[in-house]
Amino acid sequence: MQEIQTIITPVDFSDNADMIAKSAGYTAGKFNAELHLVFVVQNFEDYSGFFVPPVNLPNLEEELLKSAQQRMDEFIAEKKKDFYEAGVATVHSKVLTGDVSEEILNYAREIDCNLIVMGTHGYKGLERIMFGSVADKVVKNACCPVMTINPYRKICEEAKKP
């Protein structure tokens, strides 16, 4: 098996992103690996059949990318102590645009990633039907092992207690 030196973790800034980032940081610390946090801004083209945006699309996409990078910087600053305590020496961030699963997979190939650590719950309801599960697509098509984390596992375990 290949040595784990580079780990990618997609984040979506949801309530679950904190736990997933901490788990990825712990894993990166154990392997003394670089950690790459990735956020993907969904393509507007995916929604083009549903509505016509009332604003200038290129400006809106540029603003979304800028806001996403700012949120990523804030997210990493909030987790800096957790990553340090886990032994993570290097944390990178990347904001991408496009189809979420495809961009994660492309970035993994681009940086020669050895492990992807990601949550299993993102899209729900109609969005899941329309776009499918990002985790499913990544697991099926990744160039490296994928470790998935069910962010609701703790809730399930607590429900089993008498």
- pLDDT-based confidence at residue 105 (cuts at 50, 70, 90): very high
Q: What is the pLDDT of residue 150?
A: 83
Mean pLDDT of 133-158: 81
Q: What is the pLDDT of residue 52?
A: 55
User: Residues 81-103: pLDDT tens digits?
Assistant: 999 999 998 999 999 999 999 99
Q: What is the mean pLDDT of the chain?
A: 83
Domains of the chain: 6-160 (3.40.50.620)
Q: What is the pLDDT of residue 53?
A: 56
Asked whether the predicted pLDDT for residue 59 surpasses 80, the reply is: no
Closest CA to 65 of 34, 51, 44, 80: 44
pTM for this predicted structure = 0.82
Q: What is the pLDDT of residue 131?
A: 45
- pLDDT-based confidence at residue 51 (cuts at 50, 70, 90): low
How far apart are the C-alpha atoms of 128 and 121, rounded to whole Å?
A: 10
Q: CB within 8 A of 29, min separation 6: which ones?
A: 83, 86, 87, 88
